[in-house]
Amino acid sequence: MYFLSPVKVFVFDRIYNDKLCIKRLERILDALANSPKLTVFNESNILDVFAELENLWPSINIASRVPVTFTRPLVFTTMEFRSPGFDFMKLQEKCSSDTARRYLKLILGYMTTAIDQHPHMRDRENNCVCWPTYNFGTIAGCSHGCLYCGEGREGKFLTIALNLEEIMEKVVRPIIENNPWNRVFRMILSGADLITFEPEYGLFEIFSETLSYYPGRYGYFHTSSCNVDWLANIKHRDRLIGVWSVSCESVAEKFELGTGRYTDRFDAAKRCQDMGIPVRYKFKPVIPVKNWRQEYASAIEYALKKTQPESIGFCVYMWNTYDSMVSTLPVDVMDPECLEAAKNSAQQMKGKVYGPFPHEIRKKIYQHLIREVRRHSKEVLLYISTETREMWDELKGELGQDPRSYICGCGSLAIPGRKLDANPGLRYSTYHSAPI
């Protein structure tokens, strides 16, 4: 796992009632780069723990040989499946904000277990083209600290659920069994890059084993990490598909503080490809830095010389306004033309999930990326991720795929081997207004 140096570790005392949870905790603690102070808590002193967590990180007193984002506190808990009771409601009343209440729920184990991602009607409302799918999650927060990610930029701590066996039985198995249309499931929620805690955490060993009981079912690890060598020891790695969020040199250096060099992810994908694990890339988010054309061209060339990905997707930085972008990103390293276009379009893009960059700027970026890929490969499947219907209409010829039924990087039907396993339960993407 990552060489983390948390300023402090907190452990919910109910973890000590489960031998498997204890072993998982001990493995992770043994792998840390430091020996942080450990506080065991329960519901009687949880407000004191919460008050400490609100002010513990970041600290100007942190002196660390690792990225400062690796020093976030860790909170170990067990995922709770019962509805919050009266005592919890009384605790919530003492919280000062919605964010505080959300953090309190995480500590107590009331985490998001799974979500129905990109249903047709919601994507129709947002003018967003994707595939419906189910996401699972067992960790909230991330050590990478990417500036474009709210959790990475602002999260005060990471919450890790340790009762993985129970999560598989009560969440993963029922969703697999009750949704036969969904062929590939995503293990990604709450801003977490889950493989950064492997192999000590053991999530993907138990997730792939669970998938192995269901013929034709697979799971994604979706990552910006190069921590992959442990996958060679996973018995059922044939049930896993690797999807990397990738970037160019300046974006990795200036915006993705804890991810390492941009080439590291392509090198990691090569190692996975050699293990027989399907490899896919998403340039997401594409951030137009000052030298974006040359930098993304270099990244694409490196990726395609190093590996043979099944697909490559593109998504320009979105889900923001012009104001939120300039307040959270180092805009001095960004392309002035693209920034000016976003500024001039601020009113037009207001309320649009695909903002802040207007259509023509995004289109110009996509066309450049498509051309660069095609310079090196005519076969790799291309798509745009969570983009508009209008963008698909204009680029489908250049992308070479039908937006109604395309193969992407982490869709619910994109099984290994560049295949789309369309079935009576799901035939079309959310380019359609409703399932057909």
Give the CATH number of the domain where residue 157 resides. 3.80.30.30
- When pLDDT is averaged across residues 144-150 and rounded to a whole number, the result is 95
Mean pLDDT of 401-417: 97
**Rounded distance, CA 436 to CA 427, Å?**
7
**CA-CA distance, 373 to 305, in Å (whole number)?**
11
Give the residue from 107, 129, 158 where a domain finishes.
107
**DSSP letter, residue 34:** S
Do 94 and 201 lie in one domain? The reply is no
Q: Which residue has the tokens 């295949």?
A: 419
Domain co-membership, 77 together with 187: no
With H, G, I as helix, E, B as strand and everything else as coil, classify residue 419. Answer: strand
Q: Give the confidence band of 156 by pLDDT, cuts at 50, 70, 90.
A: very high
Mean pLDDT lowest for which of 4-18, 41-55, 196-210, 414-428?
Answer: 41-55
Confidence at 55, pLDDT banded by 50, 70, 90 = confident
pLDDT at 79: 96
428 in any annotated domain: no
Tell me which amino acid residue 177 is.
E
Region 268-275: mean pLDDT is 98
Beta strands in 213-336 (DSSP E): 218-223, 240-246, 279-286, 311-316
For residue 255, what pLDDT is reported? 96
162 in a structural domain: yes
Establish if 427 belongs to a structural domain: no
Alpha helices by DSSP H, listed for 168-241, are 173-178, 203-212
Residue 1: inside a domain: no
d(CA 404, CA 122): 16
Of residues 199 and 63, the one with the higher pLDDT is 199
Same domain, 167 and 268: yes
Same domain, 162 and 98: no
Question: CB–CB of 120/430 below 8 Å?
Answer: yes
| Distance, CA of 301 to CA of 4 (rounded, Å) | 32
pTM to 2 decimal places: 0.95
Segment 278-334, tens digit of pLDDT = 999 999 999 999 999 999 999 999 999 999 999 999 999 999 999 999 999 999 999
The least confident of 65-74, 89-98, 401-410 is 89-98
Tokens of 99: 């964010």
Share the mean pLDDT of the chain.
94
Same domain, 198 and 213: yes
In a shared domain, residues 298 and 364: yes
Tell me: do 46 and 141 sit in the same domain: no
pLDDT of residue 166: 98
Q: Do 257 and 373 reside in the same domain of the chain?
A: yes
Rg (CA), the chain: 21
pLDDT tens by residue, 187-236:
999 999 999 999 999 999 999 999 999 999 999 999 999 999 999 999 99
In a domain, 263, yes or no: yes
**Is residue 5 one of the residues assigned to a domain?**
no
Q: What is the DSSP string of 52-74?
A: HHHHHSS-TT---SS-GGGG--E
Same domain, 217 and 169: yes
Q: What is the pLDDT of residue 50?
A: 86
3 within domain boundaries: no
pLDDT for 82 equals 83
Residue 405 — left, alpha, or beta (φ > 0 → left; ψ -120 to 50 → alpha)? Answer: beta
Q: Are residues 77 and 165 in the same domain?
A: no
pLDDT at 61: 64
Please tell me the predicted confidence (pLDDT) of residue 64. Answer: 65
Boundary residue ending a domain (107, 128, 163): 107
Of 61, 84, 107, which residue sits at a domain end?
107
Rounded distance between C-alpha atoms, residue 224 and residue 283, angstroms: 11
Domain count, the chain: 2
Residue 97, pLDDT > 90, answer: no
pLDDT for position 435: 52
103 and 121 inside one domain: no
Mean pLDDT of all residues in 393-402: 98
Same domain, yes or no, for 61 and 132?
no
Question: What pLDDT is recorded for position 86?
Answer: 62
Tens of pLDDT, residue by residue over 108-138, are 999 999 999 999 999 999 999 999 999 999 9
Query: Is-contact 223 242, C-beta < 8 A?
Result: yes
pLDDT for res 60: 60
Share of the chain above pLDDT 90, in %: 87
Assigned token pair, 262: 């941009």
Query: Does any domain span residue 16?
Result: yes
User: Could you tell me the residue range of the domain that residue 62 belongs to?
Assistant: 10-107
Q: Is the pLDDT confidence value at 434 over 60?
A: no
Average pLDDT over residues 168-185: 97
